[in-house]
Each structure stands twice: as C-alpha cells, then as structure tokens.
Amino acid sequence: MRTRIRNLGILAHVDAGKTTLTERFLYLTGATHKRGEVHDGTTVTDFDPQERDRGITIFSAAVSCDWDGHRLNLIDTPGHVDFADEVERALRVLDGAVAVFDAVAGVEPQSESVWRQADRHGVPRLAFVNKLDRACADLDTAVESLRTRLGTVPLPVQLPIGSEDAFTGVIDLVRMRAHTWRPGSDTYETGPVPETLADEAVRRRHRLVETVAGLHPDALEEFCAHGTLDERTLTSALRDLTLAGEAVVVLCGSAYRNRGIEPLLDAVVAYLPAPADLPPVRGDRPADPTAPLTALAFKVTTTPTGRMTYLRLYAGTLRKGDTVLDTTTGRTERIARILRVQADRTTEAGHAAAGDIVAVVGPKAARTGATLCASDAPPVRLEPPVSADPVVSVAIEARLGRDTERLATALARLSEEDPSLTVRTDPESGQTVLSGLGELHLEVAVEKLRRAHALDVTVGRPRVAYRETPAAGVTGLTYRHVKQDGGAGQFAVVVLDVAPLDGADGDDGGSAAADGGRDFVFRSAVTGGRVPQEFVRAVEAGCRDALADGPLAGHPVTGVRVTLTDGATHVKDSSELAFRTAGRLALREALRTGGTTLLEPVVEVTVTAPGSTVGTVLGDLTARRARITDSTTHADTAVLTATVPLAALFGYATHLRSRTQGRATFTTRPAGYAPAL
C-alpha cells in the first residue's frame, strides 16, 4: 500500500487555477458529485467564509481521493505572497507537487517564489500549463518561461489540439495518441493522432526523446542503439528525472473546462514519488508501518468541537488510544481520535500508517513543528517548518475593557494556528502588537478575531519592521570588562574588528545566523590560546545579544561581520558570563562608533495595466519611491515591475483600482531590505 500513496501539493500564483484544478481532481475521481466553482463560492477547499468572500485561497486545505488504485492526498495551497508560510508548512510534509501556470502569463512572481520554496525542500514537481482556452494562450511561450525564469529543464509530454476557444484536447507524445473532449462533456475519447498534427507530433516527440537521452544514461544507451525510445523506457526515464529534480514534466489543459485533467492524474501516479520511494526520514525510521512511530505536526487548528493537530506519518503506525511522546516538549500525549480530512469535513479512522496525512484529536500541547514518536522507542526530533519573520505590525486592542482577556486568548490561538503571526506587548506604550507577513495577512487575522471569536477590536495603522546595519567598520576596538564586588569578580578583555557584511562574503570558517540570508558572521582570529575556546563561544553569544537593538532607533541589527582578534583573561575572575557581557558591550560600542544605517523592507511589485494607463501607474509608483526594474507590453497590456518600500504600499490596492477604473492588478513578493531614504 505504501507504493500506492501520493502526497502532493497544488502550487501556483494567485488566479492560476489551483483551486479549480483541485475541484476537478475531486470530481473526476468520484470524491465529489458536483463541480465546485471559485466564483460561485462552492469549492470544497475554499470553505472558510473569508476565502469565499475574497475569492482566493487563504488557508491550506487537505483532501483525499482515489485514482487508478492509488490514494492521492492533496493539499491546496494559497497563491498570495502574504500566506507563503502556509505553503512552507505544506511543502515540509509533501512528497511531490503539481505547479500550475497560466498559459497566457507563464511564470508569474509568486509561482516563481513557491517554485523556489519547493527547491529548498527538494520536492519533485510536475508542471501543468492551465487556461489553454484563453485568448493569447501559448504553451510554447509558457514552457520557455519555465526554462528562463525557473532555470529548469521543461519536458513537454503533450501537444495541444486546437487553441483558445477551439482547444479540444491534447496529444500524448509518450504514447502517441490523442485525447479529445467534446463540448459540455466530462469524458474524453482516445484515438490516433490527427493527420493535421501528425508531423508536428513526431517532431516534438523526437525533441523530447533527444532531451531525455541527454539527461538519462539508460535512455541514452537505447537512443544510441535505436535512434528512439520505446514507451516503457521513456516513461521510466521521465520518472527518474522527475524524482531527481533534474527536469520537470510539463502537461497542459484547461481546468475550468475540464480538459486535460485525467492525463494529469495519470502523470501524478506515474511520475511523482510514493512515500516508499523517498529516503528514510532517519536512518532507522523507513516509511514502513512496522517501524517505530515517527510523525511531524505541520498544522494546528481550533474548531468548535476541539483542537485538531495535522500529522504526516513518516514511519510506523498510529492507532486510536495510543500514547505518544512529543520530543519537542518531552510530554506524552494521548491520541483520542484519528480523522481522515476532506477540507472542513472529517471521518473517523481506527489507525494511520507510514505515508498517511491525517488529523488527530487529543494532543493538548503539541504545536506546529512538533515531532511525535512512539513512547517506547528511542526519541527522534524532525526538522520543523521554518516560519518567516513578520514585516508588518498593527496595534490591536479590545473596544470593551471586559473583552481584554478574551482577546489575549484569541490572539494566542491565532499565533498557535499560524506561527507567522506573532503577538507582543510594546514595552513603551503597553499596547498589544500583532505582526504578520503583509497587510492582507493582518486583515485576515483581524477579521477572524471578529468573526470566529466575536470580538469587537480596534486596529492601529500598519507599521513595518525596520532594521539597522553598520554604516562603517571599526578596527581594533578594545573593551575591558572588569567588575569586583567582593568574592569572585568578572574579568574579560576582547579586541574586535566589526565590518558591514555584504552579500558577496563567502564561507570563511565563521558561524552565521540567517534571516533570509547571511545576516551575522562571527569568527575568531585569536592565536596562542589567549582566549580559550569556551570564552570565544561566550563572546559570540554576547555579540548576538547586542544585535537585538541598534544604537540608531532601537531596531534589530543585521548584516554584521565580527572578528575576535585578541583578548586577555584572568586566572580566577574570567568566566563565560564575563566574556559574554564583554562581547555584548563591545559590539554595542563598535556600532555606536561606526554608526548604523536604517533599513526598510522592500517588495517587488508587478503591475498589469492597460496601455492607456501606464503613465498614471508609473507616476504613482515614482511617488511611492519605486525603482522601475522592467517594463514589457503585450497587445494592449503593459506589465511593470518595480522595487518599492513596503511602507509606501499600504492602501495601494484601492488606490490603483481608483486610478485605473478597476482595470489594473498587481502582485508583490518580498525583496529583502534596502536603505531607508
């Protein structure tokens, strides 16, 4: 059974058709009996009221269906940049993915971002070029954008039959047969390749075979011997290349018109990995139901009926009533119920085995990223999903004083369900501050407080998360920390070189802390044992402490290179505490001496607007301190790309619509930090 499971995600940019494709999967596999539509608010996976109101996916939703004797566990992920952490948590537990691309737009900003996320997790992918029924749809242009924008080797295994409104089917280049759909029909017919496309199909198959042979040794051997590849060899080679991440199989169709979906389901089964195809999560924990239980909690939700924890089982078998060990907290938890999840609906299950994705009821303290193991086996701890640091904050408070405690409880639940939301109390104002990944992210969180928790809250204007970075280097700064209060004292002398850290700095043997890049590098150049190694580590810890607030405006400091060049110790009074304190105070003095520069978060904005409004859009972007990086025109539509300070984009959606009569759209993605002007 382990070879008959596929755990996959649906990834894409906003409006590329992820949710519609998921709906077609469910309908054609018999999991649902009616096709849901995003515009009607009738989809299975977009079940939250906010998703239906806004017409976008906000929360990842898990569903299951069966196809050709295989169980497909799908997670429909958000496409908006503000909810990238939902994608990150899903990719951490998935074995494969289908990346969906618009046949007109090709690779869009957020589809590129989720592709890079999948690269980091090593998730094998298929590409599905959707919306071939649209005006100006072009498979070849979309495929070329995969090659140039994503740096991958696309392997188109289909040729469209017809174009735009006349798109009626696809030619399977692996088996050289045609699949055609009649207008208004949910079924397709398989037959020979149409004579009008026979020569083109032969040319494209030969190009496919040549590319595969150049990448796969066994295929190359057969190609050299026979000048072509048979169906079995080509299919096997395509699967190997997909699993290795050396190429991506490309299929095409129209999810809305229900064309090309069945061949895509076949490709999911044929090319994406089963849990047993992947290496063991640990050397002694293979994807085997008889191995010791190992599961990762990747999502926590609170429902009216209780708390649910979503698990991916990597090894072993979990049964109702089992007691498991949470290796993150050291607590034992009892599994009261095991649930198969179909978006917002669940069914009871008596057990779950390696490879399954299920929800459980019972654990009270397990949080996102927790590892649950068999309590009678050696404990292991799996790498948790990494949450991005928040960049936008708002002050929030209950309108009525009696709701203050309820608000605190609700905010704690929100941050538990979504670790990319953080809650803190401002030490100066005493206000409660809610931070997230974007303006829309916070809007959704606040609306959830109002709807799900029935709280009347007031919200302050959004604020961005600034950073500081060294403006100049300081060499040979000597700091003496000497303290004597009676008894054992504190003595530490450190000599530091402090310099700005630019992106070109390579790995030089130092240690680095990363926040989307190398933000702090520490190394020791002390010779002769003048500072023992345990004190060197204490100096590094003290320097990290000093990065919490900078001298300019108290913002966190980033982009720092620190080199410990010398120091001195005392035979009795030197300790790790003394050197940690010296490291902290020395770096603070160095930052004050050299000065720091204020950094602000910037985003890459892609605006799609009618050609007649380009001047208006450009003028508005310039007023927002934008730096235009690209401009292209297709037909009567212009696409502008710019880097803009995040703080200048608050309210931009409404402003853009009003200036272009609602005809322009835009998307954003994080682009790091830049000096504030």
pLDDT, mean of residues 135-140: 93
| 516 pLDDT more than 50 | no
Neighbours of 675 (CB within 10 A): 11
pLDDT of residue 37: 83
Report phi then psi at 136, rounded to 5: 70, 10
Confidence of residue 273 (pLDDT cuts 50, 70, 90): very high
Complete DSSP assignment for 611-659 = GGGHHHHHHHHHHTT-EEEEEEEETTEEEEEEEEEGGGGTTHHHHHHHH
Quick check: 101 and 14 in contact, CB under 8 A? no
The Cα–Cα gap between 459 and 652 comes to 18
Report phi then psi at 8, rounded to 5: -135, 155
Quick check: 229 and 223 in contact, CB under 8 A? yes
Residues in the chain: 677
What pLDDT, in 10s, does the model give residues 603-639?
999 888 888 889 999 999 999 999 999 988 876 788 8
The answer to whether 77 is a known ligand-binding residue is: yes
Determine the 3-state secondary structure of 546 from DSSP. Answer: helix
In one-letter notation, the amino acid at residue 167 is F
Tokens of 491: 């003595």
Stretch among 44-58, 82-96, 564-578 having the lowest mean pLDDT? 44-58
pLDDT, mean of residues 468-490: 89
The answer to whether 18 is a known ligand-binding residue is: yes
The Cα–Cα gap between 48 and 547 comes to 40
pLDDT, mean of residues 285-307: 88
Residue with tokens 């700095």: 505
Spell out the residues 6+ positions from residue 553 whose beta carbon is closer than 8 angstroms to its own. Answer: 466, 468, 598
pLDDT of residue 243: 96
Tokens of 400: 């009525």
The answer to whether 132 is a known ligand-binding residue is: yes
pLDDT of residue 514: 35
Angle CA 393–398–401, to nearest 5: 145
The answer to whether 172 is a known ligand-binding residue is: no
The Cα–Cα gap between 97 and 560 comes to 37
Stretch among 218-232, 326-340, 510-524 having the lowest mean pLDDT? 510-524
Stretch among 55-59, 320-324, 427-431, 658-662 having the lowest mean pLDDT? 427-431
The answer to whether 19 is a known ligand-binding residue is: yes
The answer to whether 79 is a known ligand-binding residue is: yes
Stretch among 39-43, 206-210, 564-568 having the lowest mean pLDDT? 39-43
| 165 pLDDT more than 60 | yes
The answer to whether 14 is a known ligand-binding residue is: yes
pLDDT of residue 503: 52
Residue with tokens 């953080």: 422
Neighbours of 345 (CB within 10 A): 11
Complete DSSP assignment for 442-499 = HHHHHHHHHHHS---EEEPPPEE--EEEESS-EEEEEEEEEE-SSSS-EEEEEEEEEE
| 661 pLDDT more than 80 | no
The answer to whether 80 is a known ligand-binding residue is: yes
The answer to whether 78 is a known ligand-binding residue is: yes
Confidence of residue 653 (pLDDT cuts 50, 70, 90): confident
Determine the 3-state secondary structure of 578 from DSSP. Answer: helix
The Cα–Cα gap between 373 and 202 comes to 53
Quick check: 608 and 614 in contact, CB under 8 A? no
Stretch among 184-198, 462-476, 484-498, 661-675 having the lowest mean pLDDT? 661-675
| 512 pLDDT more than 60 | no
pLDDT, mean of residues 115-130: 94
| 282 pLDDT more than 90 | no
Quick check: 446 and 423 in contact, CB under 8 A? no
Quick check: 140 and 250 in contact, CB under 8 A? no
Tokens of 225: 């011997």
* Alpha carbon distances (Å) from 521 to 409, 543, 550: 38, 10, 17
The Cα–Cα gap between 566 and 582 comes to 13
The Cα–Cα gap between 88 and 78 comes to 10
Percent of the chain with pLDDT over 70: 96
pLDDT of residue 87: 92
**Regarding beta strands 248-252 and 125-130, do their DSSP bridges make them parallel or antiparallel, or are they unpaired?**
parallel
The Cα–Cα gap between 255 and 264 comes to 10
What pLDDT, in 10s, does the model give residues 251-272?
999 999 999 999 999 999 999 9
pLDDT, mean of residues 528-538: 92
| 283 pLDDT more than 70 | no
pLDDT of residue 486: 66
What pLDDT, in 10s, does the model give residues 397-437?
999 989 999 999 999 999 999 999 999 887 766 789 999 88
| 75 pLDDT more than 80 | yes
Quick check: 550 and 468 in contact, CB under 8 A? yes
Give the mean pLDDT of the chain: 90
300, β-bridge pairs: 309
pLDDT of residue 52: 85
Quick check: 611 and 636 in contact, CB under 8 A? yes
| 646 pLDDT more than 50 | yes
Spell out the residues 6+ positions from residue 189 whose beta carbon is closer than 8 angstroms to its own. Answer: 179, 180, 181, 182
Q: 175, 169, 181: which is closest to 157 by C-alpha?
A: 175
Stretch among 220-234, 397-411, 493-507, 626-640 having the lowest mean pLDDT? 493-507
Neighbours of 28 (CB within 10 A): 19
483, β-bridge pairs: 490
The answer to whether 53 is a known ligand-binding residue is: no
The answer to whether 536 is a known ligand-binding residue is: no
CA end-to-end span of the chain: 59
